[in-house]
Amino acid sequence: MADQNGNGNPADDDRYVLEDDGSSVADIEHEMELAAKEAAEATDKGQDPTLRAENADLRDRYLRTLADFENYRKRADREKQDFYKYALADTLRDDLGLTGTKIACNEGHCGACTVLVDGMPVLSCITLVHALDGASVTTIEGLRDHPMLQAFVRADALQCGFCTPGQIVSAIALVEASAEPSSDEIRHAMAGNLCRCGAYPKIEEAIQTWRD
Ligand code: FES
Ligand code: FES
C-alpha cells in the first residue's frame, strides 16, 4: 500500500487536506470563525441561528464545518502518531472510506474485519498497514459481484448483518480454494467468523449453495 511517493507515507501535500472536499485546515477554521460570527450576530438580533428558516444555510454550513473539523482532528491525531502503526481495518474505514469492513472485537477474535490479502483471508484489525507493502487487498466492496452475496441473501444467512461482510469474505476465500467444500471444511474454514445472532446453519447453507 505504498503511496504515490512509493515510500508508504501519506504524501506531504495530503497530510492536512481533507479527503472529501479538499478543504485545508485553514479553510475550515476560517469557515468556522465566519459561521460562529454570523451565529453570534443572529443571536444579538434576537434570532435563533439554529432554528429560523432564513438561517438554515448558516446552520447547515456550521454543522457541516463542525463535522469537517472533527474529521480533520481525528485524521490529524492519527497522523501525529506513527502511520506505520495503523491497523489495516482503520486505514480502510477511516482513510479510504471503505466502511463495508466492520470492526467488532478489534482484537483478532471475531472475524468481522476479515479482508483478503493476496487472496487469503486476513483479520484486518490486527494487520498493520506497513506489513502490506505491495500486497493486494480486497474488501467486501471489491467482492460485491461475487455470487456468494446472492447465496447469503437466498439462504437468509444473516440477522443483524454486522458479521456478514467478514463471513462473506471468508466464504469466498474458501470456495475459491475449494468450489464444493464439505460441511466439515466449511465449519473449519469459517471457525474464525463469529455470529452473535447464531446464523451458522444458514451461513453453511449459503456456502453449500453458492453456485445455484
Ligand atoms: S474486529 Fe477483527 S477480529 Fe474482531
Ligand atoms: S448476523 Fe448478527 S452477528 Fe451475525
List the one residue out of 140, 160, 155, 169 whose CA is nearest residue 203.
155
pLDDT tens, residue order, the chain (212 aa) = 333 333 334 333 333 333 445 555 566 667 667 767 777 777 777 766 554 444 555 556 556 656 666 665 666 666 655 555 689 999 899 878 899 999 999 999 999 999 999 999 999 999 998 888 788 999 999 999 999 999 999 999 999 999 999 999 999 999 999 999 999 999 999 999 999 999 999 999 999 999 99
CATH of domain 89-208: 1.10.150.120
Distance of CA 181 to the CA centre of its chain: 30
Query: For residue 69, how far is its CA from the centre of ligand 1 (angstroms)?
Result: 28
Query: What single-letter DSSP state applies at residue 11?
Result: P
Sorted by sequence, the CB contacts under 8 Å of residue 150 that are 6+ apart come out as none
Cell of 56: 438554515
| Domains in the chain: boundaries | 16-80, 89-208
Instruction: Please state the pTM of the whole predicted model.
Output: 0.65
120 burial class (0-12, 13-18, 19+ CB within 10 angstroms)? exposed
Determine if ligand 1 sits within 6 Å of the CB of residue 196.
no
Determine if ligand 2 sits within 6 Å of the CB of residue 199.
yes
Q: How far is CA 52 from CA 57, 64, 72, 128, 151, in A?
A: 10, 17, 29, 48, 50
Query: For residue 124, how far is its CA from the centre of ligand 2 (angstroms)?
Result: 18
Determine contact, residues 3/130, Cβ cutoff 8 Å. no
